[in-house]
Amino acid sequence: MRLSTTHLSGLLSLGTLVMADPTWPSSIDELEEIMYQVSGFNSRQFGGTVIPCSNEASGPGRQNAAEWLRTGFHDMATANINFGTGGLDASLQYELSSAENTGPGFTTTLRFMNNYYTNRSSVADLIALGVYYSVRSCGGPSIPFRGGRVDARAAGNIGVPQPENSVFTFQQQFRRMGFSNTEMIQVTACGHTIGGVHEAEFPNLVPPGSTPKGEAPMDSTVAVFDNKIVTEYISGNTTDPLVVGPSVRLTRNSDSKVFASDANVTVTAMADQTAFHNTCKNVLQKMIDVVPSGVTLSDPILPYAVKPVNMQLTLETGASTMALTGWVRVRVTSASVSSIALIYKDRNGGNNCGNTGCSYTATVLGATDGFDDKFIWFPLNVKISTSTGISSFTVTLNRADGTRQVFDNNGVSYPMDDAILIQKPQSCLLQTSGALTVTAAVRNDRNSFPVKLVVSQKVASGRPIATLSSNTIAMTRGDCVGPYTFYTASYTIPGDTSSAAKLDVVSGTGEYAIGDYFNAASELGGTCRAFSVPPASLCTTGSVTTTTLGGSSSTSSSVTATSTTSSSTGPATTLSHRQTMGGYRLVGCKKEPTTPGSRALSGRSFAYDGMTLETCMTNCSGFAYWGTEYGRECYCGDSLESTSADAALAECNVVCSGDATQYCGAGNRIELYYTTATATPTATLAPKPTVSPYTRVGCYDEVSGRALTGAGYADDAMTLEMCASRCAGFTYFAAEYGRECYCGNTLDARSVPAVAESCNMVCAGNRFEYCGAGDRLELYSLAGASSSAPAPSSSTTSSSLMTSTTSSSIPVVSATSSTSPGSSTSSSSTVSSSSVQASSASSTTSTTSTPTTPSTSSSSSATAASLQHRPTVSPYSLVGCWTEGTGGKRALGSKNTVSGASMTLEACAAFCDGYHYFGTEYGGECYCGNSLDETSNEAPLADCSMTCTGNRYQYCGAGNRLELYYTNTTTGPSQPPTIGAYSWYGCQTEGANDVRALAAASTASATMTLESCATFCGSYQHFGTEYGGECYCGDAFSAGSVAVPVGECSMTCTGNDKQYCGAGNRLSVYSKM
């Protein structure tokens, strides 16, 4: 359940991973997640229109990042510190008709902010957070952000500075805001370093037709937060339209007036890039911290080291257990964590947790990036006995180096209260009508307290920001289910923004109130599921241990409601990605498939002007999926083509031709929706014998640490085909828990066959396929893979679900095996796997698996009749997909060739014979080298999506993407990409003033190898070899150590002449992955 945050606060230093965590839950939790979960898994997507800085989502020549930055200033600019009024208070939403706020940028910015406006994230806080995002996304400094701003309910006074003002007027206006004359100049420079002036708003300053996109940039780097705004002004070559051009004649050259007001002293001091960033960091923080008197801001919000997210208790069928689900998010910017252990206390604070014990171990599922931080996510699905319950938990981090650290929420543990739970499966919302039904499970010892539902909803206001309205509905007592009793309430959320509502269910009032708070209505399905009520004999009773309040148990069937209204508030008709449409929910933005002639959805298609999400949904009635594309196209289907990859939601940025408030995909981008209903089956639900080129192995147990560790994905549109596509190049793939996908070249020996019927969860994206279950893998392998393994139990082999797989041998490699993907693949071409082939041949389905066959061009490489990333091209093995180097440098710079019609992986391997690396790019290019440029970085394998010009069943990289292979069998030395737990970092110099770059430990040997140095430095983050025989270790680099071209690390190791071990004053550095 989600707890109230009003009574919890405090900070504690917690060691190496953190500076200080708030006590959870905290009033800043929502803002903290929006601020730091920027991109990747579970990201909040707040930066969707400002990342990258050059994003012009609102139209040509409109850098959204610049508009967000200006929005912060214009909202703050009406402040009067003498009277304690104005400041950053979201009053701008009431001031859009003022001539001081001309242009569409403020409206579009506020409309975007409205999507994140809740009772825990004010519009004023979101505007301030927008300043942080806009500056950081453009390469500027990280501006400290505080929460706690309060939204105004009316317009502020006029007073935004205008270009025609005199220097004296500017100085008076900024002094009113609380800024000195020097700070006035600094704010102006920092605010004008990105973006430009638009002809549509200022035709007298930017003559129409004089610029390509109707925008005159402030400096030469319109989408970079740098010092060019002042250096170009000082040097006299500025193009700033507020310094030169028609503005001079019209005396609207406000930037030159302000910059010259102290004889250019301030701007000269800002000419250094570091000084510019430091100055802007300070002055922009001061700008967003100007608030009305009476408003108290929080401390600067820092990321949690360990944070529970979306924690939810749910009563399970039969009411004997409840499930604790959610996530533990761990910050790993400076430390590596392999798993976590959640240790919980029972309802009374003890250790009586039943047969399952009081601990739960979780492993990593996904990763999220902030601008300066990285987080990994550990999923929870803890089964807790309802008879003993839960009251709190702690989290232990198990680090990759073997150490552990316990997080106990500043000594009070992380609280969980099982007194009242919102039952989301038994709750539902029809988003077309707003009809809402909410069910809560209340522990029986609290049945004398009243129970209420509180709905916080958005109501159209005629402004870009909606009005928040809070409505309270008494809940009606229903069935007793074991130690709990169900309460229900129904309510209709008006308008078309029902999915944006937040729901609280509360037992008791005043000091005795306990609630499950801030639940998203968008998480509810369209149908309330039935609950299997246990026999009445299992209904338990209890008495309240605190003083009983007066009042009934709310058994009346009548519904009473009260309403309160608060502003900051805006219309439902705002441009946004609609999370739900009728009986469908938004999956996200998807790319069209890479296969020529194929579509993500191939059932039906339509194209017409006037396209809306509603009309496309109607066109696709009866299909499981539908999606819009390019503003006027509509596609339908019952399954998603397997190579349709994820795209950022911001890439679906074309407005629907028939509704300017909706997005309808973009070019090659489909805004995809999937049904929430349980449709009448039109096909048979059964295990699939084959998912080309893979063959089903069976249902297998998951193990601690994962049975398949090569890669992992999760998708609310998961199908077996999607998982197979994501795992292309791996020997195995497996689906788990309906929406998870795992890949690997070896199967952990502890993973053994399970009863087939236990893989009983249907795939999230195809209700006619099985995708494993909790701790159960629906396992597939390449047809040629084979080795000995435990035989399935008799209950498994006799199952009708096993069809073609019961006689197959299972490829298993133990955890201690050193078998590589290359050796595994090459051996499969010589080892008979007749049991698999016989099994496939006896299958009653018409789908067959195509085994891998030797290539005509190379006896040791394979070419299968299916497009995939080849794990080996003898004698090379696939490293992955890598970028080219930065600054025009090639990742592999020794040798290259191009073939527009006949490039294959085998041809490139032959061309690069004698080199350690080869890589293919853009379908027909081939590059060779013995070392990889240090500025080349690994990219998602899916980025290498172009097929080879000479073999349509092979991938040959993409634009700025190399399909990279490596071998250690050539005669020349190389810099291997990985050494044990370490990966190649780059060639570094020693530190300044004769200080070692890595100074923690060192050794030297006449038989030095990279492996021996890695072993010696095993407890450190980095190791580096130098001068052929020296080894150095450390967790950080000393000052003055810099990266140099990889070719400068050119001395071979004294113990292995096939490896490079730095050079004089040059370290070959590796870092833990």
pLDDT digits (tens, 9 = 90+) for 441-498: 999 999 999 999 999 999 999 999 999 999 999 999 999 999 999 999 999 998 778 8
pLDDT at 60 over 80: yes
Q: Is the per-residue pLDDT at 827 higher than 90?
A: no
**Which of these ranges, 593-607, 695-709, 829-843, 950-964, has the smallest mean pLDDT?**
829-843
Are 1072 and 336 spatial neighbours (Cβ–Cβ below 8 Å)? yes
Write down the pLDDT at residue 229.
Answer: 98
Q: What does pTM read for this prediction?
A: 0.55
Once rounded to an integer, what is the mean pLDDT over residues 109-124?
96
Does residue 831 carry a pLDDT above 60?
A: no
Please confirm whether the linkage preceding 141 is cis (ω < 30° from 0): no
* pLDDT number for residue 904: 92
Residue 975 CA to residue 993 CA, distance in Å, equals 28
| C-alpha closest to that of 862 among 909, 817, 896, 894 | 909
Identify whether the C-beta of residue 462 lies closer than 8 Å to the C-beta of residue 559: no
Q: What is the pLDDT of residue 370?
A: 95
Checking if the pLDDT of 879 tops 90, the result is no
Residue 298: pLDDT band with limits 50, 70, 90: very high
Rounded average pLDDT over 161-172: 92
φ, ψ at 868 (rounded to 5°):
-160, 165
| pLDDT of 791 above 60 | no
Higher pLDDT, 48 or 237: 237
- Mean pLDDT is lowest, of 136-140, 593-597, 1066-1070, for 593-597
Is residue 1068 within 8 A of residue 1031, CB to CB? The reply is no
Give the architecture-level CATH label for domain 11-137.
Orthogonal Bundle (1.10)
pLDDT of residue 780: 92
**Cα dihedral across residues 793, 795, 798, 799: positive or negative:** negative
Going by their DSSP bridges, the two strands 428-430 and 690-691 should be labelled as unpaired
pLDDT of residue 668: 87
**Beta-carbon contacts of residue 949 (< 8 Å; ≥ 6 apart):** 899, 900, 901, 902, 903, 923, 924, 956
Q: What is the DSSP string of 243-307?
A: TSTHHHHTT--HHHHHHGGGTTHHHHHT-SHHHHHHHHHHHHHHHHT---TT--PPSPP---SEE
Sorting pLDDT into bands at 50, 70 and 90, what band is 282?
A: very high
- The class that CATH gives domain 306-415 is mainly beta
Lowest mean pLDDT of 138-152, 375-389, 909-923, name the range: 909-923
Calpha distance 1070→1073 (Å, rounded): 9
Q: Could you tell me the CA-to-CA distances from 401 to 44, 1001, 1019 in Å, in that order?
A: 31, 17, 6
CATH pick for 421-543+551-567 out of 3.60.20, 2.60.40, 3.40.50, 1.10.3470: 2.60.40
Q: How many CA atoms lie within 13 A of 929 on its CB side?
A: 23
Cβ distance 1053 to 1006 under 8 Å? Answer: no
- Domain boundaries of the chain, sorted by first residue: 11-137, 167-284, 306-415, 421-543+551-567, 580-675, 690-815+834-841, 869-966, 982-1072
Q: What is the pLDDT of residue 874?
A: 83
Tell me, what's the pLDDT at 20? 63
pLDDT at 602 over 90: no
CA dist., res. 372 & res. 143, Å (int):
12
Hey, what are 651's tokens?
Answer: 């890439």
Distance CA 908, CA 895 (A): 11
CATH class of 167-284: mainly alpha
pLDDT above 90: residue 259 = yes
Instruction: Provide the token pair at 218.
Output: 């402030």
143: pLDDT confidence band, cut at 50, 70 and 90?
very high
- The whole-number average pLDDT for the span 877-881 is 87
The reported pLDDT for the residue numbered 971 is 65
* pLDDT single digits (tens) 632-650: 888 888 888 878 888 889 8
The model's confidence at residue 335, banded by pLDDT at 50, 70 and 90, is low
Confidence at 739, pLDDT banded by 50, 70, 90: confident
Cβ proximity of 113 and 44 under 8 Å: no
Helix (H) or strand (E) holding 76: helix 64-76
pLDDT in tens, 555-573: 333 333 333 333 343 334 6
So what's the pLDDT on residue 819? 29
Whether 167-284 shares its CATH topology with 306-415 is answered no
For the residues 911-919, what does the mean pLDDT come to?
Answer: 88
pLDDT tens for 749-785 read 788 888 887 888 888 888 788 998 878 899 999 865 5
Average pLDDT, the chain: 83
Lowest mean pLDDT among 6-10, 94-98, 171-175, 941-945: 6-10
Task: Fill in the DSSP letter of residue 857.
Answer: S
> Are residues 980 and 1011 in contact, defined by beta-carbon separation less than 8 angstroms?
yes
Q: How many residues does the chain have?
A: 1073
